[in-house]
Amino acid sequence: MRVPVPIVTTTIDGRQVIYRDRKRYWWWLSVLSPAIPAIAVGLLVATGGVTWAALMPLVIYYFVIPLVDWAIGEDFDNPPEEVVPQLERDTYYRALLFLSLPVFFTSFFAVAWLVGTHPLPLWVFLALTLGAGAASGSGLTVGHELGHKQSRLDRAGAKLICALTGYAHFCIEHNRGHHSEVATPEDIASARLGESVWSFALRELPGALKRGWYWEKRRLAAKGSGFWTWRNDLLQGYAITLFIAALLLAAFGWIMIPFLIIHHLSGWLQLTFANYVEHYGLKRDRRMDGRYAPCEPRHSWNTNHIVSNLMLFHLQRHSDHHANPLRPYQALRDFKDLPRLPSGYPGCFVLAALPPLWFHIMDRKVLDWASGRLDATNLSPAAADRYRAHLAAA
């Protein structure tokens, strides 16, 4: 692979700083990994129906990647602060975000075409649709990165990719709600100690929708506009989702209804699982005036597992992101003494899907982070008595 050109800058005191982004060309994994469902479709067609290929997206995302993460390990490299402005101005990294958009849509339409034109066994239909939903759900990572930017083009790209899974409210809810209330009991997108991912989903999915609508209504009201207007970012995103659904229904018929429902739900859960592992049990302290202290890197779970980070545009360096929301993915840093996840997100999603295993591994980490004080954690009210009794007996 081509050796990246070094970034060279000179500090105020005359010191020369040279930095080479060793991951510069490896970020193409983030662009190409959503193609896995389309590759599975190609294998199914090319082999005349070797149905095992239908499992390929799920197996790669939730089995192969965690194993590779474990085998290769973590990357603790940080760009020197002196070169961050040049990294931020480098349009190569921004271009990769936009280049990923057609890959997401190609995989989605490839699976829709196969489902709509071929008689498939039920398990093949489900495996392919869930795999496509998992890939499209990871597209919300791109929406997340673009949605934090100020330009109209970036925000349009975020709106487009969020519409792929019918999650138009994501950027609004995330930027105005989650970033304000993160790591507090009030935040519907911050998981509580003792709360399973399935219980969290029942709270987070409707809560995110409600909070997105609330903030968009407030934004429009501040501009002197009602909610039902073409300027409504939510309605624009949902219109794109409905347009895509109408095209598929016209092209392939009613089989698209279960396909779209399962695909979108799978994509939503991808985001829900990410939200769950990112702040599980962590809580910001209250100050004397009753307000919460500012969000710090220690209020998000971090992981430097290199392969999954390269496939998710550094989303897993979540600690620096919440402390510095406008910092682009290529410049996100690692810090010492951060709360650390045991694996990259794909591996943690598997753990979270098995609540007893997740609690066994993560509850100890949360309590260590809180120096053994339950009151310093974001504790689930439903689990409070159980955790207090367990600590008292220990």
pLDDT per residue over 15-38, tens digit each?
A: 777 788 889 999 999 999 999 999
Residue with tokens 């398990």: 123
Residue 210: phi and psi, rounded to 5, are -60, -45
Q: Please indicate, yes or no, if residue 62 is contained in any of the structural domains.
A: yes
Q: Please indicate, yes or no, if residue 80 is contained in any of the structural domains.
A: yes
Residue 25 confidence (pLDDT): 92
The percent of residues in the chain predicted with pLDDT above 70, rounded, is 96
Residues 6+ apart with CB under 8 A from 235: 228, 229
Per-residue pLDDT for 195 more than 70?
A: yes
Q: Please indicate, yes or no, if residue 15 is contained in any of the structural domains.
A: no
Q: Please indicate, yes or no, if residue 257 is contained in any of the structural domains.
A: yes
Instruction: Compute CA distances 318 → 171, 196, 297, whole Å.
Output: 16, 21, 8
Whether 55 and 80 have beta carbons less than 8 Å apart is answered as no
Per-residue pLDDT for 182 more than 60?
A: yes
Q: Please indicate, yes or no, if residue 125 is contained in any of the structural domains.
A: yes
| Mean pLDDT value across residues 63-76 | 95
Residue 47 confidence (pLDDT): 84
| Mean pLDDT value across residues 210-234 | 93
Q: Please indicate, yes or no, if residue 67 is contained in any of the structural domains.
A: yes
Q: What angle do CA 303, 306, 311 make, to 5 degrees?
A: 100
pLDDT tens across 135-160, in order? 999 999 999 999 888 899 999 999 99
Residue with tokens 């790669």: 60
Residue 369 confidence (pLDDT): 96
What is the number of structural domains in the chain? 1
Q: What pTM value is reported for the model?
A: 0.94
Per-residue pLDDT for 87 more than 90?
A: no
Instruction: Compute CA distances 151 → 158, 216, 236, whole Å.
Output: 11, 18, 17
- Average pLDDT over all residues of the chain: 92
Residues 6+ apart with CB under 8 A from 61: 36, 131, 134, 135, 346
- Say how far apart CA 373 and CA 111 lie, in whole Å: 49
Residue 350's domain comprises: 27-393
Q: Please indicate, yes or no, if residue 4 is contained in any of the structural domains.
A: no
State the amino acid at position 74 in one-letter form: E
Q: Which residues of 232-255 are buried (b: 16+ CB within 10 A; e: fewer)?
A: bbbeebbebbeebbeebeeebeeb
Residue 326 confidence (pLDDT): 87
Q: Please indicate, yes or no, if residue 8 is contained in any of the structural domains.
A: no
Q: Which residues of 265-277 are buried (b: 16+ CB within 10 A; e: fewer)?
A: bbbbbbbbbbbbb
